[in-house]
């Protein structure tokens, strides 16, 4: 829905799309049984120009059929309810469903993935698709966190991104969300063609004025095949100057830190205790369930992704067939390198040697001792003996550092 979420769309740009003072742990260390579930809802009012997610506009008439298929897929994969610590319903735009469809979805998810006490249940929402009745349905259905895709308060930037909401929709949606939920988040995108540092700082101020405890700031990426990518290829749109994008990113780190929202992942900032626990599962490379169109799951060290073709998904599930597309069993070395790369994204937690060993069965040094040493020497990483983490300098070259670990 925004600029990243499910990790296996592997190795999102460090500042691309794509959840503690006390940084919370994933709560899954050492466990092979998923304690997290992702559910995908692909419907959108309109396809945004930069979007390469499994999302589509103009298919709302298939929503009821899709919900039946989702229920079948959960029954097929799980056979019995699986208690979890975190649930994340993403998209697409889950709140594109009408109130009764949303209620049906939440009830099915609550049945198959009962949330343990203290668990986190997030739903992504778009300002233009939210209203009081849907907020009420979410709240009654057990959701306790909402992630709102604001992206920008600058009308020309929303236009370039082809978002179909207006800047003034955001405060309205935040009012509704705040009235029902203690935990909520805003997403913003920087690096938008035509934007300046001033536009971006104004976006941040408008977001901060709404009082979020969690803010995601994604750097815009021109994903192959998207409308924005084509516009760039045709010369109709030009990426902003790298120095401006760098300045926007640097400004966000400083401004958000001064507002008490500390960076805990390359693109994510939160007050202590307000981190997105579900995304922390991805960044610790812990297992998770995933159902729905294009959804990824990671169970028993097998990464699998469902088809992204809606009709194929529906027909396969309706015929009792598995809608899985590509899947891959990760060998120990590959799993360990992925784990390192993902954990390094956690700018506070970093890669804790003990956690790493417990998760992967191998030592950090045996996997990447040489690369780590090189980046520590260059000042991109810091090592206190217990953990290794990205320095501020390293955060700016994270794509290169993470690629080196692979
Ligand atoms: S709202 Fe836009 S960016 Fe989000 S999934 Fe839909 S099309 Fe993609």
pLDDT tens-digit readout, 31-90: 579 999 999 999 999 999 999 999 999 999 999 999 999 999 999 999 899 999 999 999
Distance 242 CA to ligand 1 centre (A): 25
CA distances from 72 to 40, 105, 298, 323, 355 (A): 14, 12, 19, 11, 36
Residue found by looking up tokens 């983490």 in the block: 389
Compute the distance between CA of residue 42 and CA of residue 309 in angstroms, rounded to an integer.
10
Mean pLDDT of the region 182-199: 97
Percent of the chain at pLDDT exceeding 70: 92
| Residue 48, ligand 1, Cβ within 6 A | yes
Class of domain 36-283: alpha beta
pLDDT tens-digit readout, 205-221: 999 999 999 999 999 99
| Residue 51, ligand 1, Cβ within 6 A | yes
Mean pLDDT of the region 169-191: 96
Domains of the chain by residue range: 36-283, 347-399
Per the prediction, the chain carries an average pLDDT of 92
Looking only at the bridges linking them, the beta strands covering 387-390 and 381-383 are antiparallel
Q: Is the overall model pTM greater than 0.85, yes or no?
A: yes
Distance 259 CA to ligand 1 centre (A): 28
Which residue from 6, 18, 44, 189 has its CB within 8 A of the most atoms of ligand 1, so it is best to mutate?
Answer: 44
Distance 368 CA to ligand 1 centre (A): 37
> So what's the pLDDT on residue 406?
80
Give the closest residue (by CA) to ligand 1 atom 7.
Answer: 47
Compute the distance between CA of residue 272 and CA of residue 264 in angstroms, rounded to an integer.
9
| Residue 119, ligand 1, Cβ within 6 A | no
pLDDT exceeds cutoff 80 at 9: no
Alpha helices in 181-304 (DSSP H): 197-209, 227-233, 242-258, 277-283
State the pLDDT confidence band at 28, using cuts at 50, 70 and 90.
very low
Residue in 169, 151, 161 with CA at minimum distance from that of residue 215? 151
> So what's the pLDDT on residue 34?
97
Distance 282 CA to ligand 1 centre (A): 21
Give the closest residue (by CA) to ligand 1 atom 4.
Answer: 1
pLDDT tens-digit readout, 299-317: 999 999 999 999 999 999 9
> So what's the pLDDT on residue 7?
52
Residue found by looking up tokens 């045996």 in the block: 366
Compute the distance between CA of residue 188 and CA of residue 77 in angstroms, rounded to an integer.
35
pLDDT tens-digit readout, 352-369: 999 999 999 999 999 999
Distance 164 CA to ligand 1 centre (A): 10
């Amino acid at each position: 829905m925004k600029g990243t979420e499910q990790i296996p769309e592997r190795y999102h740009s460090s500042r691309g799309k794509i959840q503690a003072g006390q940084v919370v742990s994933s709560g899954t260390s050492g466990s092979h049984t998923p304690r997290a579930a992702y559910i995908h809802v692909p419907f959108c009012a309109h396809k945004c120009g930069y979007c390469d997610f499994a999302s589509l506009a103009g298919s709302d008439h298939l929503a009821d059929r899709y919900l039946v298929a989702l229920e079948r897929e959960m029954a097929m994969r799980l056979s019995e309810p699986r208690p979890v610590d975190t649930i994340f319903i993403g998209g697409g735009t889950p709140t594109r469903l009408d109130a009764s469809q949303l209620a049906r979805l939440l009830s099915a998810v609550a049945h198959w993935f009962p949330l343990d006490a203290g668990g986190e249940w997030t739903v992504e929402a778009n300002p233009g698709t939210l209203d009081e009745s849907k907020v009420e349905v979410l709240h009654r259905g057990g959701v306790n966190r909402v992630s709102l895709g604001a992206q920008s308060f600058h009308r020309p930037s929303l236009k370039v991104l082809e978002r179909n909401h207006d800047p003034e929709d955001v405060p309205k949606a935040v009012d509704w969300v705040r009235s029902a939920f203690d935990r909520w988040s805003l997403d913003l995108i920087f690096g938008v063609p035509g934007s300046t540092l001033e536009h971006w700082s104004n976006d941040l101020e408008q977001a901060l004025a709404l009082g979020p405890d969690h803010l995601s700031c994604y750097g815009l990426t021109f994903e192959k095949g998207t409308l924005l990518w084509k516009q760039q290829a045709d010369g109709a749109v030009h990426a902003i100057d790298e120095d401006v994008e760098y300045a926007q990113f640097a400004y966000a780190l400083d401004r958000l830190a001064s507002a008490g929202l500390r960076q805990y992942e390359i693109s994510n900032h939160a007050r202590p205790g307000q981190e997105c626990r579900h995304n922390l599962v991805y960044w610790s490379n812990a297992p998770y369930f995933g159902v729905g169109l294009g959804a990824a799951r990671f169970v028993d060290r097998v990464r699998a992704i469902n088809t992204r073709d809606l009709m194929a998904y529906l027909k396969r599930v309706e015929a009792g067939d598995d809608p899985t597309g590509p899947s891959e069993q990760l060998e120990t070395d590959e799993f360990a390198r992925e784990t390192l790369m993902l954990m390094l994204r956690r700018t506070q937690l970093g890669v804790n040697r003990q956690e790493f060993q417990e998760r992967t069965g191998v030592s950090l040094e045996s996997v990447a001792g040489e690369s780590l040493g090189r980046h520590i020497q260059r000042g991109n990483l810091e090592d206190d003996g217990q953990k290794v983490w990205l320095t501020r300098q390293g955060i700016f070259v994270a794509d290169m550092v993470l690629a080196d670990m692979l």
